[in-house]
Every structure is written in structure tokens, then in C-alpha cells.
Amino acid sequence: MGQFIQFAINGLMSGAIYALIAVGIVSVFKATKVVNFAHGYLIMFGAYFYFTFAVIIPGQEWAPAWLASWQPGWMVEMRQGLNMFSPLGAVLDWAANVPRIIFGLIGAVLCNALLGMLIERSLMRPLMGQSVFAMIMVTVGLISILSGAASLIWTADAAFVPHIAPNTPIRFEVFGTMVFLFGADIVNMIIALLIFGGIVAMVKFTKSGVAIRATAEDQSTAYSMGISVPKIFSRAWILASATGAVAGAILATRNGISPSLGLFGFSVLAIVLMGGLDSYVGCFIAAMSVGVLEAMTQWKLGGEWAEIVPYVAVLVVIIFRPHGLMGQKEVERI
């Protein structure tokens, strides 16, 4: 039972990250009807940007010292006399990193947003109104372009990237068993859920959200009603790559940075399809269930089997519910 709760909580935490990544794919799909096969590689770029702004730039000689490690007098005083593994020590370690974490996150979000806009402008917009197949294949071509570009730009070995929140171990008791978590994981989950919720609320309640939904229903009608569809396209891509940057930063702190981060996108793609492509709620349910299922598989069958959980899950769901858990079935008029 104790093990079960521990793994279930781990699963929910990775589920939240899945949901954060999924939100990018769903938003682009809703606005443009294109499923971005290269979303994982956008996330990889986000991770590398975070690495660049939080590690490489602060490490340069010309960068101010406080950026690399912020050590105001009061913090030095507090540190004195602390033993090695005290929770306060971990918090202080984190506090010293705060400037570069903020710098890294802002840099990653801005650069990735710019990258998303660039992709939309140069590759997606010329295909607007063309077959969806062509657009999807363009994102497939983007996989190679992004993955090649990343290994060309970031040749240095990816070192440690700072955690977004203090990584203190937290222990507490649930139903009489000890559960063991890391502080950073909890904060990551909260960030992921807040961003997810924020985007859903935006699409539901704001004017540009209505414009996105109208575009999702019918692009040409939306265009003729005065909605600037190209602008919606741009915004969706910027939104997806900006959220992708945050997801990338989180993943970088959890699993380290490597070109294989891009492959992560495919499991999220499977999750999005399971959820039903255009449904935020469906994707959230799918993300959480896959997260928990993965954790359980890891527990019972071993880590490597967890790799294929999203793929098996999506096949099962597609066979029984061809349009995903909550997806809209498109009625074909004959």
C-alpha cells in the first residue's frame, strides 16, 4: 500500500508535466488543425535555452558574479554553522541560484517563443489553406532540422542545471506509510498545473480564446468574420513554444539535457491523441492516467517497460474509442 501511494504520487507528478507539454500540442491543433510532430524538439530547444541562460552565460567571465551565485551578506551569515544536509541549507543553495534561474526561465521562454514564431512564419504560414497532410509533414521535417541544429549549436556537454525550486527532501505520512518526495518536484507540478489551468481559462473566457475556438471550428468563416487567422496561428505557436520552454526547463532539471528529450514529445503526442486532440480536459485525464500507469509499470515490471506505456495505451484507446477519450467525432456529410 505504501509503495502504491508513493508510485501513484510520482505518477501524478510526471502526469502534470505531460499535461504541460500536451497543452502546447492541443493549442496548436485547435488553432491550426496541425499536429506538431516536432513539439518534443521544441521542448528540447527550451531545455537547451534554459541551460544556456542559467548555466553557460552566468559562467562567462563577463557576466556579473551575482548572476552565477548570489551571496548577499545576510545569506552568508545564515549559512554559518549549518550542517551539510539541513533543509535550510538546501533552501539557501537554491536562493543563491535564484537570479540565474529567473534569468534562465525568462531567456528560455523568450527565445523559444521567438523560435516558435519563426517556424510559424517561415514554414507554416505559406501552407495555410493547403492540405493538412503537407503541414504535418513539414513538422516531421522540422524534427530533423531542430535536432540537427541543436547538436550543431550546443556542442558542450550538458552539465548540471539548477532546479527551479529548493530540492529539499520531504517526508510525510499518508495512511500510515511514509511517502518521500522532493521539494522541486512538487513546485514543478504546481507550475505545470497553473500554466495548464491558465491556458484553459484563457481559451474559455478571453476574447482571443473565443477567436481561437472560432478558428478551430472553421478557419475561413472565422477569417471572414474579422478574426485574423494568421495572427491566431502565430499566437498558438508562440504559446506552444513558450509553455514548451518551461516544460523543457523542468525536464532538464529532472532528467538532464540530451537530444533524446525530443523523443519525449512522441509519448506526449500519444497522450494527446488518447485524450482526443482538441479537448484540454481529455488530455489532462490522459496525461494523469499515463503518468500513473507509467509509475505502476515501473514499479511492477521495471523502468524500461514504462517507456512503451503511452504507446500501448494510445493503441488500446484508439481501438475502442477512435476519437480519443473526449475528442469530437467529426460528422462526415455525404
Partner 1 sequence: MINGNLKADYGADERVLNNRNKQLFVYGSMLLLAIFPFVAGDYAMLMACKMGILLIAVVGVNVLTGYTGLVSLGHGAFVAIGAYATVVFSNLFSGLPEGILPLIVIPLAVIVSALVGIIVGLPSLRVKGLYLAVATLAASFIVTFLIEQDLFAPWTGGVNGINTPTANLLGWELDTKREMYVLITVLALTTLLAAQNLFRTRVGRAFIAIRDRDYSAEILGISLLRYKLMSFAISAAYCGLSGALFAYFYARILPEQFELDLSLELVAALIVGGMGRTMGPVFGVFIVMMVPELIKIAMGAATGGSLELARYTGPVQEIVFGLLLVTFLLKEPLGINQITDRILRSANRWPFARG
Sites of contact with partner 1 (CB under 8 A)? 35, 37, 123, 126-127, 130, 132-134, 136-138, 140-149, 151-152, 155, 263, 266, 269-270, 273, 277, 304, 307-308, 310-312, 314-315, 318-319, 322-323, 332, 334
- Residue 197: helix, strand or coil by DSSP? helix
Phi, psi of 179 (to 5 degrees): -115, 140
Alpha-carbon dihedral 308, 264, 237, 193, rounded to 10 degrees:
80
For residues 301 and 127, give the distance between their C-alpha atoms in angstroms, rounded to a whole number: 45
Supply the DSSP symbol for 156: S
For residues 213 and 236, give the distance between their C-alpha atoms in angstroms, rounded to a whole number: 11
Which CB, 176 or 302, lies closer to partner 1? 302
* Cell matching residue 172: 510525510
Helices within the chain (DSSP H only): 2-32, 39-51, 65-68, 73-79, 87-119, 132-153, 183-205, 207-217, 219-224, 229-255, 261-275, 280-300, 303-306, 309-320
In whole angstroms, the minimum distance from the beta carbon of 134 to partner 1 comes to 5
In whole angstroms, the minimum distance from the beta carbon of 53 to partner 1 comes to 22
In whole angstroms, the minimum distance from the beta carbon of 29 to partner 1 comes to 9
Which CB, 78 or 128, lies closer to partner 1? 128
Alpha-carbon dihedral 264, 266, 267, 270, rounded to 10 degrees:
160
Supply the DSSP symbol for 6: H
DSSP string, 285-300: HHHHHHHHHHHHHHHH
In whole angstroms, the minimum distance from the beta carbon of 92 to partner 1 comes to 40
Which CB, 109 or 146, lies closer to partner 1? 146
Which CB, 113 or 313, lies closer to partner 1? 313
**Beta-strand pair 169-174/177-182:** antiparallel
In whole angstroms, the minimum distance from the beta carbon of 81 to partner 1 comes to 49
Which CB, 166 or 291, lies closer to partner 1? 291
Nearest to 238 by CA among 146, 116, 108: 116
In whole angstroms, the minimum distance from the beta carbon of 8 to partner 1 comes to 24
Q: Look-up: residue for cell 529567473?
A: 102
In whole angstroms, the minimum distance from the beta carbon of 323 to partner 1 comes to 8
Supply the DSSP symbol for 175: T
In whole angstroms, the minimum distance from the beta carbon of 26 to partner 1 comes to 13
Which CB, 83 or 155, lies closer to partner 1? 155
- Residue 321: helix, strand or coil by DSSP? coil
In whole angstroms, the minimum distance from the beta carbon of 274 to partner 1 comes to 10
Q: Look-up: residue for cell 551539510?
A: 84
Amino acid letter at 296? M
